[in-house]
């Protein structure tokens, strides 16, 4: 998308992604892919309504009523929940904050879009495993196989570090310093932020053995069979397999849906229950705002409430087709492909 034929919308979108997000803000690849996905859906939605090509769209075609209709379309026709709806709106607002600065004539439109409220909803309490359940999962991997030893090392690291799944599969062997007793691992977090986490002696020993297992092989810490980085879905599948095996000895895991993010929640809950304060947990998890971590307090309080309620009471008895896509759509799709992990 270039040259004098590019619309104001197309020009601003390209500058927003290539210059503002990549260069000025240096946002993560995941963020760029997510925002590009939002605008690909939004542009395709506008094209169906306006019956025009993408290069002919202007900022005025993305006014507040259109954005609101798009958000309703996401929920009603694409089955998006409030979290996804709000995430899409956040991407749109980020662009219109850029528009408000770089296109004065579009300022009234940008202000009305920025005034669109996020949707309120009842937030689910975080799910997590008990210490007994977590132990059962950690010992459920098969130490006699290469993949079993990798999975054991990966799950031990996941529990020790509370790493997000993208952080876990992105770990490189150079990120781990496996000194005697207490090793450390550098985690490359969201928004290009880094944090260093101290490993327990048990996890350090497991990772040291796993590093010897890898020999002079791949650079990633938890490679797939081909030697490359595991995908997030691949890590999820390996965890599901471990949970399935663990359920044979831990009945409370039967039928449970456990994701890598559940392990992250589990670590945070166990830290809270051990007496660590919220500010320290937020730092450990890589949260920018301690309010994000407050959900663990609510979950812990709810668990205690349910436990008390279960006690006996005294004194009582019982898409758009490829033919319709043009250069702007192709640009947004290329951003998704380029920055998807």
Here the contacts of 128-134 (C-beta below 8 Å, separation 24 or greater) are: 128/262, 128/265, 128/266, 128/268, 128/269, 128/299, 129/258, 129/262, 129/263, 129/266, 130/252, 131/270, 132/250, 132/252, 133/246, 133/250, 133/252, 133/253, 134/159, 134/263, 134/266, 134/270
Q: What is the pLDDT of residues 16-70, one digit of tens each?
A: 999 999 999 888 787 898 999 999 999 999 998 877 777 788 999 999 999 999 9
Instruction: Please indicate whether residue 261 is annotated as part of the active site.
Output: yes
Between the alpha carbon of residue 38 and those of residues 62, 70, 85, 114, the distances in Å are: 13, 11, 10, 16
CA 192, CA 4: separation in Å to the nearest integer? Answer: 35
DSSP reduced 3-state for 74: helix
Question: Vertex 174, ends 159 and 261: CA angle to 5°?
Answer: 25
Q: What is the pLDDT of residue 164?
A: 87
Instruction: Please indicate whether residue 264 is annotated as part of the active site.
Output: yes
Q: Looking at 25, 112, 261, 294, which residue is catalytic? A: 261
Q: What is the pLDDT of residue 161?
A: 87
Q: DSSP states of 120-135 as a string?
A: P-PPPPPP---HHHHH
Q: Looking at 11, 102, 135, 190, which residue is catalytic? A: 190
CA 57, CA 47: separation in Å to the nearest integer? Answer: 8
DSSP reduced 3-state for 282: helix
Q: What is the pLDDT of residue 194?
A: 80
Residues in Cβ contact with 187 at an 8 Å cutoff, skipping those fewer than 6 apart:
161, 163, 167, 171, 175, 194, 195, 196, 197, 286
Residues in Cβ contact with 340 at an 8 Å cutoff, skipping those fewer than 6 apart:
29, 30, 33
Q: What is the pLDDT of residues 248-293, one digit of tens each?
A: 999 999 999 899 989 988 888 888 777 777 677 776 676 554 444 4
CA 12, CA 2: separation in Å to the nearest integer? Answer: 11
Q: What is the pLDDT of residues 177-233, one digit of tens each?
A: 987 777 888 888 766 678 888 888 999 999 999 999 999 889 999 999 899 999 999
DSSP reduced 3-state for 229: strand
- Which helix (DSSP H) or strand (DSSP E) does residue 299 occupy? helix 290-310
Q: Which two tokens stand for residue 196?
A: 């260093």
Across the range 305-313, mean pLDDT stands at 47
Mutual orientation of helices 107-114 and 64-77 as an angle, nearest 10°? 40
Between the alpha carbon of residue 293 and those of residues 15, 84, 163, 280, 287, the distances in Å are: 35, 20, 14, 10, 7
> Tokens 């075609």 — which residue?
61
Residues in Cβ contact with 58 at an 8 Å cutoff, skipping those fewer than 6 apart:
7, 8, 9
Instruction: Please indicate whether residue 128 is annotated as part of the active site.
Output: no
CA 109, CA 142: separation in Å to the nearest integer? Answer: 59
Instruction: Please indicate whether residue 296 is annotated as part of the active site.
Output: yes
Nearest-CA neighbor of 243 among 221, 266, 222? 266
Q: Looking at 20, 85, 164, 325, which residue is catalytic? A: 164
CA 124, CA 295: separation in Å to the nearest integer? Answer: 9
Q: What is the pLDDT of residues 122-158, one digit of tens each?
A: 666 557 899 999 999 999 999 999 999 999 999 999 9
**Structural domains for the chain:** 8-122+325-339 (no CATH), 131-288 (1.10.443.10)
CA 253, CA 251: separation in Å to the nearest integer? Answer: 5
């Amino acid at each position: 998308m270039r040259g004098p034929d590019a619309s104001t919308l197309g020009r601003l979108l390209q500058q927003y992604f290539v210059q503002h997000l990549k260069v000025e803000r240096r946002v993560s690849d995941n963020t760029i892919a997510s925002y590009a996905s939002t605008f690909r859906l939004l542009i395709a939605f506008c094209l169906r309504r306006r019956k025009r090509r993408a290069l002919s769209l202007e900022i005025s075609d993305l006014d507040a009523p259109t954005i609101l209709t798009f958000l309703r379309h996401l929920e009603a026709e694409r089955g998006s929940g409030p979290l996804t709806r709000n995430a899409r709106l956040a991407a749109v607002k980020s662009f219109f904050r850029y528009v408000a600065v770089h296109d004065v004539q579009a300022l009234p439109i940008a202000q009305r879009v920025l005034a669109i409220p996020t949707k309120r909803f009842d937030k689910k309490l975080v799910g997590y495993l008990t210490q007994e359940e977590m132990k059962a999962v950690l010992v459920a991997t098969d130490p006699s196989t290469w993949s079993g030893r990798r999975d054991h090392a990966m799950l031990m690291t996941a529990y020790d570090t509370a790493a997000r799944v993208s952080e876990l599969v992105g770990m490189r062997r150079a990120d781990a310093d496996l000194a005697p007793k207490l090793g450390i691992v550098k985690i490359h977090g969201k928004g290009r932020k880094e944090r260093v986490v101290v490993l327990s002696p048990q996890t350090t020993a497991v990772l040291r053995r796993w590093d010897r297992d890898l020999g002079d092989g791949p650079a990633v810490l938890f490679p797939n069979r081909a030697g490359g980085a595991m995908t997030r879905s691949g890590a999820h599948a390996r965890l599901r397999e471990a949970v399935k095996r663990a359920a044979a000895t831990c009945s409370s895991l039967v039928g449970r849906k456990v994701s890598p993010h559940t392990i992250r929640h589990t670590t945070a809950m166990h830290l809270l229950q051990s007496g660590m304060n919220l500010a320290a947990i937020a730092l450990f998890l890589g949260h920018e705002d301690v309010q994000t971590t407050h959900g663990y307090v609510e979950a812990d309080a709810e668990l205690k409430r349910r436990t008390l309620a279960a006690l006996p009471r005294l004194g009582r008895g019982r898409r758009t087709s490829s033919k319709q896509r043009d250069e702007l759509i192709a640009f947004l799709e290329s951003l998704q492909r380029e920055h998807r992990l």
